[in-house]
Amino acid sequence: MLKSSERWFEMASVALMTVVAIAGFAVTIYAAWLFHDMPDGSELADFRPVNSARVFAWEGTLIGEYGQERRVNVPYDRIPERLRNAFLAAEDRSFFSHSGVDVSGVSRAMLKNVLNFITGRRFEGGSTITQQVAKNLLLGNERTLGRKLKEVILARRLESSLSKEQILELYMNDIYLGYRSYGVGSASFNYFGKPADQLTLAESAYLAALPKGPENYRPTTHKAAAIARRNWVIGEMVQAGFVTRAEGDAAMKEDLIVQAKPQRAHYHDADYFVSEVELRARKLFPTDPAAIYTEGYYIKTTLDPKLQTYARQALMNGLETYDRRHGWRGGWGNERVASNWQKIAAEKEAPAERAKWVQAIVTSAAKGSVSVETVDGAKGSLVASDVGWAFAGKGLKTGDLIFVEPNPQGSGFRLRQVPNVNGALVALDPYTGRTLAMVGGYSFSVSKFNRATQANRQPGSSIKPFVYAVALERDFTPASIVEDGPITMMGGDGKMWTPQNYEHDFMGPQPIRRGIELSRNLMTVRLAQKVGIKPITQKIVEYGVSPKVPAEMSMVLGAGEVTPFNLTGAYSIFVNGGRKIRPHLIDQVLDRDGKVIYKSEDRECPACSQPFNGLESPRLQPAGQQVMNPITAYQVNSFMQGVVERGTARSAASLGIPMGGKTGTTNDYRSAWFVGFTADMVVGVFVGFDDNRTLGDKETGSAAALPIWVDFMRNANAGKPKKDFLKPRDAVFVSIRGREEAFKPGTEPKYQAGSDDDGPRPYLDTWTDGELQSAPAEAPVIQQPPAPKKKTLEDASQLY
């Protein structure tokens, strides 16, 4: 019997040992599988979290960001001690004393979880900050025993690989805090609109309250809970000795106010510019276009925020002025019998750039008086002038939904209407190509299509200065006379083409500059026939006006297509002495470590790295390629100064500063232009409908585009000293009809007093042996050449 019992015990022991062995083997296999690919944690020493690109104006204003995870990496020594202590108090008070895992904290969490299990609450993990770093950066959020074991092991590895300061820095720059914020740097801006080092104690404590559940403590939806959690953090800080009781009590009494929406950039006038920078930045990294969304690049642009604001305001105001000239189009809805009209009206948003506009309903309407009520309950009447404007157009009736704005000059409301017309404004530095301002439409919130860079439109007579420049590069001079008379030529379709001046008149022989000043089509066509259309179109491409120009005669009157950005850039040639510059928006791109990985400036300056000897500062060669004789550039510049002084842009002369420019209007008034310049800035304005329909009778470049240009330039030049245009060094200046004209050496008229001349000629003044003499000018009179044989584009007879 004993032997039987012993045998049974022996068999049981063997069985038990077998089970233990199998279990041990299974555990070994599981452990091997669980930990076979687990990182050792050392790679976090060089960890680079996904970070958005930040876009800055030239003087440092943050104007935009690209990326979903909007981090702002803050080094450990730049994180305020009070903010660090707030997170330690809330998350891991013993962080600097434990070795990665807080055994007492885990024990407390386990005891609490017994109660949580009974009450149905969520379990607490008892994780240290080190464990959270291991989980967030190396593991994941799955709630399993295996993940928890990995977390504990990795936490110990992290503690042996990194310093406490490095671990805390990783944590505070990676933790998600809601409001599209990753890390304390981003959260500081998104919630409070300030950098982390400017946070108050109460604000620091609020951010430290968020890791447990940002959406549960958002002030806009759960303010009481947010304040309660913030105050709990402050209490923990007091208990830990991080702040005094008095400081804690004062902080707990503060209100909790955050921004209405997450945002870092408070400058919002450059939306079109920032969007264009995004497109161009992607092209800088053709092998990895998405890098700008993840690598934390610092993008320094050429934007001048002050000029950009002036540009946006000028374009919006100018388009609204044009729109008002063409009448009230009626309300954008009618809810006369709807009881929930406020909800319906609120769905129609005003342009984001017009923050004072508000939705309203017409409560009563008559020709003499219109009463309205806004969605926020304000009541009043429209000002009398707007009532008259409305009833001169489509009128108003009870129930109409409209936009109104509180009358800035008194009581009541102003009636507002979003224009259907659109446009663009571009301002450039003519010497470097830096884009100082760019507005691509009336409102980025209404339409994101950038008309400055993406709209190809006919330029009308704004193309003419380039035609005259080619002529002056060849056989013509400022003393040349061109016939302004009827002309007819054969088109490629077999029909006769008879271009006309805008005024449908003829002025006879005229000095060449009058063709620019008065925008005479017939003079321009004759000039182009003499020079040849092919040389003109080739040069226009070389000048950068457009990458492709049709070799057709109607092109010289503006029948081709250009973008406002390219056309404005090409006008720089007339200011900078004939150099083709490269208009650009991005000045530099730096990586997250501050290393320059792209810069627009590619000129060499060997002397710049040498010590200054006090005699002469280093000199850079002028930017751009010389594509036009400097004297020619100045001659056309002078002609366009005449456009302002005596020609189609006379209204701009009221600014009282040296300037030039050229108007442009296309067939049927479909596009209106003015591109003008001072000695240090070139500005182009375009106005037109996106569907290319007519702007209306007499809506010329002078009427629709020039006022916007003048408005912008008045603000842009306020307080600046007057600056004259630089004269070319080798030019010979001769006074013709009382005006100083520049000539290339050897081309200036040279007549002595008493010379005989048959027929009427314009008189000039010239200097011979120090004495002023008068004589008739010898200048070619251009006769009509044979009609061209090439096919022309659409009829351009009304382009001017």
Question: Where in the sequence numbering do the catalytic residues fall?
Answer: 91, 461
Could you tell me the two tokens for 649? 């842009």
Nearest to 348 by CA among 398, 386, 404, 391: 404
Helix spans in 647-719 (H): 706-716
Bridge partners, residue 413, by sequence: 382, 406
Residue 704 DSSP label = I
Q: Which residues contact 707 (CB under 8 A, 6 or more apart)?
A: 318, 321, 651
What span, in angstroms and rounded, lies between the C-alpha atoms of 325 and 328? Answer: 9
For residue 92, the SS3 value is coil
- In angstroms, the CA 187 to CA 268 distance is 19
At 56, the amino acid letter reads F
Sign of the Cα torsion 194, 198, 200, 202 reads positive
| β-strand partners of 625 | 580
Helix spans in 532-627 (H): 533-542, 564-571
CB 670 within 8 A of CB 697: no
For residue 376, the number of C-alpha atoms closer than 13 Å in the C-beta half-sphere is 7
**Residue 580 corresponds to which tokens in the numbers above?**
């083709």
Contact present, 63 and 265 (Cβ < 8 Å): yes
Contact status, residue 174 vs residue 182, Cβ threshold 8 Å? yes
> Which residue type occupies 623?
A
- Torsional class of 296: left (φ above 0), alpha (ψ -120 to 50), beta (otherwise): left
Helix (H) or strand (E) holding 303: none
SS3 content of the chain, % helix, strand, coil (to 5): 40, 15, 45
Task: Give the other-Cβ count within 10 Å of 24's Cβ.
Answer: 10
Rounded Cα gap, residues 472 and 43, in angstroms: 67
**Token representation of residue 399:** 């129930």
For 447, half-sphere exposure in the C-beta direction (CA atoms, 13 angstrom radius) is 19
Six token digits for residue 714: 């008045």
Cβ–Cβ < 8 Å for 674, 659: no
Can you name the residues that pair with 176 across neighbouring β-strands?
A: 182
The count of residues in the chain is: 800
Q: Where would I find the H helices in 464-622?
A: 464-473, 512-517, 521-531, 533-542, 564-571
